[in-house]
């Protein structure tokens, strides 16, 4: 017998930001998000928790690359243009938190950061880096 629950696609978590209000768009140019919908929406398959809307800096981009996540190099086969300082992007909550501890955190847009980020990052830490 096939377990039908296993075959069900994941359900997007409610689009609520860390302030408890409607999740705002993070970026449509470049198009970001786990769903590539411009927002930091998430679901249970998003193991990296791409929930933190950041305005990336050169320092953060270099930190991410050193951790094995090169966000600067274009990857046309994934329709990924590569990021440059000033771009907004939904980044993995743990990557952003690691960048904080390394002194490489970039600014965060609280209205566009999904509430799910709070399961990894304390609100006051996000607030300290808010734009």
Domains of the chain by residue range: 22-128
8 Å CB contact between 56 and 104: no
Superfamily of domain 22-128 in CATH is Protein of unknown function DUF2237 (3.30.56.110)
Q: Indicate the pTM of the whole model.
A: 0.91
The helix or strand, by DSSP H or E, that contains position 4, with its residue range, turns out to be helix 4-7
Burial grade of 23 (CB within 10 A; 0-12, 13-18, 19 or more): buried
The pLDDT, as a whole number, for residue 10 is 81
Nearest CA-CA partner of 108 in 95, 120, 94, 90: 90
Residues 6+ apart with CB under 8 A from 5: none
Q: pLDDT per position in the chain (131 positions), as tens? A: 455 555 567 888 999 999 999 999 999 999 999 999 999 999 999 999 999 999 999 999 999 999 999 999 999 988 889 999 999 999 999 999 999 999 999 999 999 999 999 999 999 999 999 99
């Amino acid at each position: 017998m096939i377990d039908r629950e296993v075959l069900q696609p994941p359900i997007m978590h409610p689009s609520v930001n860390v302030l408890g209000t409607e999740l705002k768009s993070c970026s449509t140019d470049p198009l970001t998000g786990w769903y590539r919908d411009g927002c930091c929406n998430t679901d249970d398959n998003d193991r990296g928790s791409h929930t933190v809307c950041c305005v990336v800096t050169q320092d953060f981009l270099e930190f991410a690359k050193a951790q094995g996540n090169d966000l600067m190099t274009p990857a046309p086969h994934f329709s990924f243009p590569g990021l440059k300082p000033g771009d907004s992007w939904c980044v993995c909550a743990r990557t952003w938190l690691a960048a904080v501890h390394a002194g490489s955190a970039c600014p965060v847009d609280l209205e566009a950061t999904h509430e799910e980020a709070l399961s990894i990052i304390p609100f006051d830490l996000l607030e300290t880096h808010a734009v």
